[in-house]
Amino acid sequence: MAAILTSVLSLGGSGLSVYFSYHAQDRQVRIEQVSKFDAASNNLLEAAGVFIAAINAGKQQDIDAARIKVRTVVAGQIQDTEIFRNTFDGGVTSLINQYQTALGQFSQVAENTKSVIEMRPWVESFGRVLDSRRALSVALSRELGFRARSGA
């Protein structure tokens, strides 16, 4: 009887060990995804800087190249946030939607901006992208049990 009880306890302990190991690995994957997302903000800022410089220079070739860069970064950001739909609970879905909508609008405004005098809508749209990105990043960090950095 003692051998059976020992076997049952051992099996239960093994099951718990596997369960906790799985959840620790799952959490680590989600932390890495959020870290990658946060690091990609540099790409977004770089694309914005390239676009501003191209508009200021007024050369159509530079503007076209900057638009391609913006579209590429926006597509990457949308792809990165789609991953969150599968790895985080539904609590962040509305923030993902808001961010993706802001990205789409930003890309569209960039396509239509042709000169410095048309930059106001672009700046407003970029501001919405940054605001919605920040809200999503904070929510993801909180879901992982972290406090968001202030001013980031």
Is 92 domain-assigned?
yes
Token readout for 144 is 């992982």
What digits encode the pLDDT tens for the residues 1-33?
Answer: 666 655 555 555 555 444 444 445 577 888 888
pTM: predicted TM-score of the whole model, two decimal places: 0.78
Is 78 domain-assigned?
yes
Q: Which domain holds residue 87?
A: 31-143
Report the distance separating Cα 33 and Cα 38, nearest Å.
9
Is 1 domain-assigned?
no
Is 11 domain-assigned?
no
Q: Using an 8 Å Cβ cutoff, are 152 and 122 in contact?
A: no
Is 21 domain-assigned?
no
What digits encode the pLDDT tens for the residues 107-123?
Answer: 999 999 999 999 999 99
- Give the chain's domain count: 1
Mean pLDDT score of the chain? 84
Is 152 domain-assigned?
no
Report the distance separating Cα 99 and Cα 37, nearest Å.
12
